[in-house]
Amino acid sequence: MRFNSKKYKELMAAQELTPEDICRKTGLDEKPFQRIMTNGFASEDAMERLASVAAVPIGELLLPDISGNIENAIEFLKDQDTCTVTFSQGRYISRIKKLAETHPEECKILAINKLPHEGETICAHIPTAWIKINPGLNLTDEQRDERRRRFCENVEYYRHENS
């Protein structure tokens, strides 16, 4: 995730936080912290820790993706209940927004970045159980025909049952 180092330095100065204070409070070593501050990129976990120490929402520390890439990401650790998703494709952004409305306790939007001529990206926390990798079925023509036949039989059966 793109990290707003300039804003973080301003927050550090305003709150009189030293790099040593930040490292101690976040559990980050000095080298990774300096790399984040220099390169402007941080993992979702590091970003949350840094936001917590500065007492600001994580969205205030995110920079929009200006690369023009259409990248999507899912981040989670083994046995973790929630994961972080970042989407730049419209269909996934819409889906996350709808889920945040219908499941506010489970789906939390962290940030929405909107750029002119670039579209938008969204970053959210969702339950890891919602992630599903499902390859399509490779059916033969005979298997497809058999499924179609059974489906039609079921439709006819329920039409007569409910009439």
- The domain that holds 18 is classified in CATH as 1.10.260.40
pLDDT attached to residue 118:
67
Asked whether 50 and 61 are in contact (CB, 8 A), the reply is yes
Q: Which of 45, 8, 42 is nearest to 19 (CA)?
A: 8
pLDDT attached to residue 129:
94
Say whether both 11 and 36 belong to one domain.
yes
pLDDT by residue for the chain (163 residues), tens digit each? 788 999 999 999 999 999 999 999 999 999 989 999 998 888 888 888 999 999 999 888 888 755 555 688 999 988 999 999 999 888 899 999 999 999 999 999 999 988 766 678 899 999 999 999 888 888 999 999 999 999 999 998 888 887 7
Say whether both 9 and 76 belong to one domain.
no
Say whether both 53 and 82 belong to one domain.
no
Task: Please give the tally of structural domains in the chain.
Answer: 2
Integer Rg of the chain from CA: 23
Q: Is the Cα dihedral 91, 94, 100, 101 positive or negative?
A: negative
> Among the three residues 61, 82, 105, which one is the final residue of a domain in this structure?
61
Say whether both 43 and 73 belong to one domain.
no
pLDDT attached to residue 161:
81
C-beta atoms surrounding 22 within 10 Å = 20
Say whether both 81 and 159 belong to one domain.
yes
pLDDT attached to residue 65:
59
What are the residue ranges of helices labelled H in 55-105? 90-102
Say whether both 77 and 51 belong to one domain.
no
Distance of alpha carbon 160 from alpha carbon 143, whole angstroms:
26
pLDDT attached to residue 97:
96
| Structure letter (DSSP) for residue 56 | S
Q: Name the amino acid, one letter, at 41.
A: F
What is the H or E stretch that residue 85 is in?
strand 82-87
> Among the three residues 61, 93, 108, which one is the final residue of a domain in this structure?
61
Say whether both 51 and 104 belong to one domain.
no
The parent domain of residue 131 ranges over 64-163
